[in-house]
Amino acid sequence: MWVKNSVPLSLRLYVFNWTNPEDIHNSSVKPNFVELGPYTYIETKEKSNIIWNANNTVTFKHIKKWWFDPNSSNGSLTDPMTTVNPIALSAAYAARNWNYFIKKGLSVTLQSMVNSVALTRAVGQVLFDGYEDHLLNLAVKMPFLAEKNFPKMDKFGWFYGRNESADFEGTFNMDTGVTGQVGELHRWRYEDHISYYPGKCGSLEGVSAGEFFPSNLKKESIIKFFSPDLCRFMELEFEEEVLINGIVGYKYSAGEKFLDNGTKILENQCFCDGDCMPSGAVNISSCRYGSPAFVSLPHFYKADPYYLQNIEGLEPDAQKSSFFMIFEPVSN
């Protein structure tokens, strides 16, 4: 059970189709998005390279496998969708602090190779299958980009290269519980402090690897667990008691402690990487090789009104847009 999940999981993915990219230069028209999906994948997970260490820790990697489940999906992987061009925008964002001559050269290159800030691809390409882009081939040939340690990719997709990969999520080292807290993460990618974030933001102290959580939870307890997708820990706060099949559970949800960028919780500023957005969009750019990567709850739920004031088509809903976990508080 711990090595391999006996019951497959469902991964339901939603995407946003940009309906009016032709108005990008018209400041009086807000960008409009329409949600598509879910596109459902069956997910299995198992551990590999398991090593039981003498210091009462265990080291391992994750291998996740996904395959599309059309019967549980609302749409096909061939559905066209229009989105921002992530490669072109990443190049422009990364170049914002470069010297004038390199920025000028990149600007000329982008103008000659990229017709629009928007692109249209099949949903399957944007997710797992990937699509080719000339900028990817160009990036590996530029010495000043090579110094940034960008991964070499022949295609781009948000999940491209992850299927059946033992290396994508990195190596985990966690406590076995013999002398410490079972499941507490000691190291990730052989580091006991996450180098992407300074100070306490990169600390792994009291952070679960996401396998096991503390027992005897209190309502004031904070659930901390590590997310390899964000290269950081997430914090969930108590929201309410719930009753499931006659058993009392504590519901912990993502709130200010996770979503704030220092606006209300000053100690969260070390997550910003120098670019602190209004609360609700978490900056993970340093985790993504300096590309403009930000994470929010769906439809900017619980986010600063700034975001919804500048776009159309999003409808945050507490029932559909929240992120939460429910624990039996004693045994967990």
Phi and psi torsions of 118, nearest 5°:
-105, 155
Can you give the pLDDT of all 332 residues of the chain as single tens digits? 789 988 889 999 999 999 999 998 899 999 999 999 999 999 999 999 999 999 999 999 999 999 999 999 999 999 999 999 888 777 776 666 666 556 655 565 556 555 668 899 999 999 999 998 877 766 665 555 555 556 667 888 999 999 999 999 999 999 999 988 899 999 999 999 999 999 999 999 999 999 999 889 999 999 999 999 999 999 999 999 999 999 999 999 999 999 998 888 999 999 987 778 999 999 998 888 777 889 999 999 999 999 999 999 999 999 999 999 999 999 87
Report CA 212 to chain centroid distance, whole Å.
21
* Interatomic CA distance for residues 158 and 139, integer angstroms: 18
Q: What was the pLDDT predicted at 320?
A: 94
* Interatomic CA distance for residues 196 and 24, integer angstroms: 33
Checking 245-251 for CB contacts under 8 A at 24+ apart, the result is: 247/328, 248/328, 248/329, 249/326, 249/327, 249/328, 249/329, 250/217, 250/219, 250/326, 250/327, 250/328, 250/329, 251/324, 251/325, 251/326
Sheet containing strand 9-18, edge to edge, reads 9-18, 33-52, 57-68, 171-175, 185-188
Q: What was the pLDDT predicted at 154?
A: 83
Q: Does the global pTM surpass 0.85?
A: yes
Q: Hunting for tokens 């609700």 — which residue is that?
A: 280
* Interatomic CA distance for residues 106 and 111, integer angstroms: 9
Please, where are the H alpha helices in 80-187? 86-94, 100-113, 123-124, 134-139, 143-146
Q: Assess contact for 250 and 326: CB atoms under 8 A.
A: yes
Q: Assess contact for 291 and 93: CB atoms under 8 A.
A: yes
b/e per residue, 70-89, with b = 16+ CB within 10 A?
eeebebebebebbbbbbbbe
* Interatomic CA distance for residues 312 and 14, integer angstroms: 17
Q: What was the pLDDT predicted at 273?
A: 76
* Interatomic CA distance for residues 183 and 138, integer angstroms: 43
